[in-house]
Structure 1
């Protein structure tokens, strides 16, 4: 990180920022670190990412050029170091929602996010060229097969041999659901892969969608499934409650030109079943870039996600 910190200080000096002290480490995981630099022009954040996530700066730059009101801008990037700089975008939305759950703000956010997804459908090839992972429905089931046949990993994740064998037998069911997804008119597109209210910043000008390092190309409705799961855990939103339905309807509203409401409900139902697999894919990336010791705090996440998938897949078929 010394090289990235030196680069940041040099960039700030060259652009007339006056440092007010040494940077503070505000977030550190094995695959990413964020430092805050206090300056006379506000806080500037340095983010470093491991190579598997290093396309984030290029993606955010592209998105900010198209959607400047809802994407945090990138001030500078250094691909050789896997580092980039961001301005202060505000406070995480979750803190505000903990005080009072503003359904209108969240509904507007979901609509704006879905608008981004729909707008970049035609840009999928160029987004993949940035290095974003391809988890489209055409390859999703094959990726699933590779995951559930990695018996060493799944055993370390706490799954029994009996559970692993059941997972290995569900490949055809995953393929069936992927084919059903493909029969609808909702295309694969950009998916944040970690979309929740703590990755959204709120400021007097509105909200900014942040932390795109996990982004992939896959089915867009995984975003809605993940967001609502997070809202249930962190804000106690019940399935079918007015707030839950408002969020879902705000997201559905962007896609109504492609499918009608009953079809959107079925698509969302499938997304809820397959979303734990996507979650497991994401943490398998972490396994591939960390040592056994570094991954220890996250051990069990993949196993628990696959158990959630098993508990729900039979109900939908």
Structure 2
């Protein structure tokens, strides 16, 4: 599957210049910008910076025809057609989606690297969408990554600082952040572990248990640093308020969470999106990345996510190992019962995450997530309807 890309061009001041003829790129994923930048350079000899999605032919990614707004320093030599693009301002537009925004962010990152004695000689735009903008910065002293995120992910640097101090090596190294969504990260060698086998997933779960046990003593510090508080009643309030525009939740939600509390597992740092693709490994070490979805809450959420794609037998094996670890760490707790009670809550929580995205991003970008909330609510309903285990 490929993507057909159309680019509406503006100059650094935001003045419209015209549109390039559509061209194909090999990556179908709409947020991936590197192939778009390379395709415009190869086909039209123009250096572009992708700013944001304007329109999409399909109701959801991937593939199809998509149109982006892109910034250029000067008009290309290729003929341009008239633009048909809405360039009006929007209060939810992200700084890196505005003309001049990427250049300001790259300038911040390269200045930071200069201070560290690690000058960047090449900057490559990798990704941009409503959840992040990512650039790769290469130089003679190695690679660093500029990541810029919206307000609902701005606690990620606080989590990375805590990880670096409390559990060194388990998360990416934070080199710098500006407190306003920009962070500079050191390169993590290896590859994302999509498709990890059972043994590797077990190792990830064991690593994560060590992290979560260490975090038990620092949950109040993490919340004070801005990490969302999703403990017990706070989780119920957040779920109900966030999902209110999308439907109602069961009347017994609070009672269910009270039962979870009685199972005796303590609240801790939760990654919030713990799947193998958010783990990088070079065969020597594993690093858990992308902590923007993290929160303080029940540890079972992460093991439930880590086992979502597995068959029933494999998932049961991983869950049994997780329960054994928590029984060893917190004697007398009831991890099996907590897991069963939280199965539908997992899907309500993921639905609420997507609902928060929809509420916090401009309309043209909502196509990325429009289908996610109803799908997750349907998954929750299906879990609730399942017979209780004997």
Query: 1:18 deviation in Å?
Result: 3.5
Alpha-carbon distance in 2 for matches of 1:71, 1:110: 14
Match of 1:55 in 2: 155
Structure 1 residue runs of 5 or longer lacking an equivalent are 155-163
- Normalized per residue, which structure has more strand? 2
- Determine if contact 1:132/1:216 at 8 Å carries over to the other structure: yes
RMSD (CA atoms)? 2.0
Alpha-carbon distance in 2 for matches of 1:211, 1:145: 26
How many residue pairs match? The answer is 286
Kindly report which structure 2 residues correspond to 1:291-310, keeping only aligned pairs within 5 A, or say none: 291-310=362-381
TM-score (structure 1 length as normaliser): 0.84
Alpha-carbon distance in 2 for matches of 1:314, 1:96: 30
Query: 1:251 deviation in Å?
Result: 2.5
Query: 1:28 deviation in Å?
Result: 1.7
Kindly report which structure 2 residues correspond to 1:218-229, keeping only aligned pairs within 5 A, or say none: 218-229=297-308
Match of 1:70 in 2: 170
Match of 2:313 in 1: 240
**1:280 and 2:280 equivalent?**
no
- Determine if contact 1:33/1:48 at 8 Å carries over to the other structure: yes
Alpha-carbon distance in 1 for matches of 2:202, 2:208: 10
Structure 2 residue runs of 5 or longer lacking an equivalent are 1-101
Alpha-carbon distance in 1 for matches of 2:151, 2:177: 14
TM-score (structure 2 length as normaliser): 0.69
The answer to which structure, 1 or 2, has the higher relative contact order (CA under 8 A, 6+ apart) is: 1
Alpha-carbon distance in 2 for matches of 1:32, 1:135: 23
- Determine if contact 2:264/2:332 at 8 Å carries over to the other structure: no
Q: 2:293 aligns with which of 192, 196, 214?
A: 214
Query: Which digits, 9 at most, give the CA deviation of each residue in 1:37-64, with x for residues without a partner?
Result: 1111221101111122111112101111
- Determine if contact 2:190/2:283 at 8 Å carries over to the other structure: no
Query: 1:269 deviation in Å?
Result: 1.4
Query: 1:171 deviation in Å?
Result: 2.3
Query: 1:148 deviation in Å?
Result: 4.2
**Partner of 2:174: helix, strand, or coil?**
coil
- Determine if contact 1:31/1:289 at 8 Å carries over to the other structure: no
Runs of 4+ in structure 1 over 6 Å off:
none
**1:85 and 2:193 equivalent?**
no
Match of 2:239 in 1: 144
- Determine if contact 1:115/1:254 at 8 Å carries over to the other structure: no
Match of 1:12 in 2: 113
Match of 2:265 in 1: 186
**Partner of 1:120: helix, strand, or coil?**
helix
User: Which stretch of the first structure deviates more once superposed, 67-76 or 139-148?
Assistant: 139-148
Larger Rg: 2
